[in-house]
Structures are given as C-alpha cells and as structure tokens.
Amino acid sequence: MRRPPILSWLFVAALLLFLFAPVVCVVLFSFNASPSAGLPIKGLTLSWYREIFDRAEYADALRNSLQVALASAAFSVVAGTAAAIALVKLPRKVTAALAGFFVLPMVVPALFIAVALLSFFTRINFELSLQAVIVGHILVTLPLVVALIGARMQNLDLSMLEAARDLGASGPQAFVKVLLPLIAPAIVSATLLSIATSADEFIISLFVNGGDQTVPVVIFGGLRTGVTPAINALASTILAATVLATAVAGRLVSLRDVAR
C-alpha cells in the first residue's frame, strides 16, 4: 500500500489506450491532408469537414440523425421520468417486475430487436421510415432514462415531498417546486445520454430506415469503398457530439449512483 502503485497505473493506462486508440485514430485522420486514411500525416486540413456539407447524402444523414436523436430523447425522457417517479411509490413486487421489464431492451441483443422490429413493422404495414427508426431508438433510450432517474429517485429522501404536501402544496406544486429541482440534473443527463445513444445506434437503424439513413448507416455504406478521410470527418462530428454529451452528463450525476 505504501509504495506508489506503478503497476496499477501501467495497467490502467494500457487499458485506456486500448479503449481510446480507435477513436483517436479516426479523429486524427479526419484532419489528414492526404486522401488515403493512413500514415504518414501529410499536413492538416479542414477540407474533409467541408465535404460533409457539400455532399447531400452526408448532410441529409446528419439532419436525420439529429431529428431521430431529439425525438427519441424527448419521448423517452418524458415517459421514462414519469415511470421512474411512479416506480418508487408502487408496491415492491410491482416495482421489481416493472424494473425487470424495462431492462429487457437492454439485455436482448440489438440485432435481435432489429430483426424482430423489421418483422413486426412489415406485418402491421408500418412504413419503414425515420419514424420507425425513432421507435427503435426509443426502445434503447427509454430503459436508460428509467435506470438513471430511478437511481436518483432511490437516493432521494421522499419525506421532503410529504413535508411539502403537509405544508399545503398541491400535488403539481410539490412536483414542480420540490421534486423537479432535485431530479433536474438527472433529467438533463438522461436527455444527453439518450441523444448520445441514439446518435450512435447502428443496427436497428440499418434494418428499419427504409431509405431515410442516419449517419452510422451512411458511414457503413461508405465503408464498402474503403475508409476515406471524409467518412472519418463525418464519424468525428458524431463522436464530438456523443463525447461532449456524455462528458456533460457525467458531470451532472454521481457515477457511483449509476453504478449500483
């Protein structure tokens, strides 16, 4: 315990290097002036980022991704927060059953959800479109919101709500003035993580997009002709958004609360 844990630091550094190497590599090559995505770096340029907006396919994909991320985050945050708040007030057995139910989309492999949704949508004649992608993404983001807000609710002293009611606040008043300020950071971080998850989601989007492609689907299509710096630039914009969203979200909630 007394000597500096050099081996521990070496291991942690090596693991983090392994985790971040691919991400750093993609961002680095998105600035590479050479059109082949590889070493050596022949000067830096921003021209690949300009190409994103010049190519209609890429610009459309960015717009689609933004739309899907905002729509799925909006629904899952409202419905998920409401559910998470109610879960702590329900009888234990009901809470346990519903908690298990909401974990389901997180445990079922994404490819499985994707093909099941494809079968379902074609069966009920629901047109494969951006709406279908939004539905698929909500399945992934809703459990995340329920888990995050649920964790916050469990660490709250609910007697504060009762105190507010005893002092004459109505139900809605107690919610807006007492509960909402307490869970606001968790709500913001849940929103941000939903957006990040949606922007990053690939396999469900691939199956149900029906032509309205999101950024990861377009990147995947582009990979058939090989990795180009423009693809790296497109991927880097999404990466920047998800990393920023996650970083802000992580500052707002205690990670130890979430890692229950």
Partner 1 sequence: MSATSAKAVGPRERGATRAPRLSGRVRGALALGLQVGPATAFVAFFLLAPLVVFFLYSLWRVRDYEIVSEWNLDAYKAAFEDESYRRLLWNTVKIAMGASVLSATLAFAFAHTLRFKLRRWQEPLLFAVVIAMFSGYLVRIYAWRTLLGDSGVVNSALRGVGVIDQPLSFLLFNRGAAVVVLANFLIPLAVLPVYAALQNVRDAEIEAARDLGCGAWGTFWRVTAPLAWPGLFFSWALSFLAAAGDYLTPQLVGGANGTMVGVIITDTFQTDYNFPRGAALAFTTLLVSLAIISVVRFVGGRILR
> Whole-angstrom Cα distance, residue 156 to residue 173?
18
Binding of residue 53 to partner 1 (CB under 8 A)? no
User: H or E element: which one contains 157?
Assistant: none
Binding of residue 59 to partner 1 (CB under 8 A)? no
> Whole-angstrom Cα distance, residue 59 to residue 65?
10
Output 7 or 56, the one with its CB closest to partner 1: 7
Site for partner 1 in 111-140 (CB under 8 A): 111-113, 115-120, 122-123, 135-136, 138-139
Binding of residue 153 to partner 1 (CB under 8 A)? no
Binding of residue 85 to partner 1 (CB under 8 A)? yes
Strand partners, 44: 32
> Whole-angstrom Cα distance, residue 122 to residue 10?
52
Binding of residue 101 to partner 1 (CB under 8 A)? yes
User: Cis bond leading into 109, ω under 30°?
Assistant: no
Binding of residue 212 to partner 1 (CB under 8 A)? no
Which one of residues 17, 104, 160, 180 is an interface residue with partner 1 (CB under 8 A)? 104
Dihedral sign of CA atoms 104, 106, 112, 115 in order: positive
Q: Work out the number of other CB atoms within 10 angstroms of the CB of residue 164.
A: 18
Of 48-56, 57-65, 108-116, 177-185: span binding partner 1 (CB under 8 A): 108-116
Output 17 or 163, the one with its CB closest to partner 1: 17
**Single-letter code of the amino acid located at 127:** E
Binding of residue 188 to partner 1 (CB under 8 A)? no
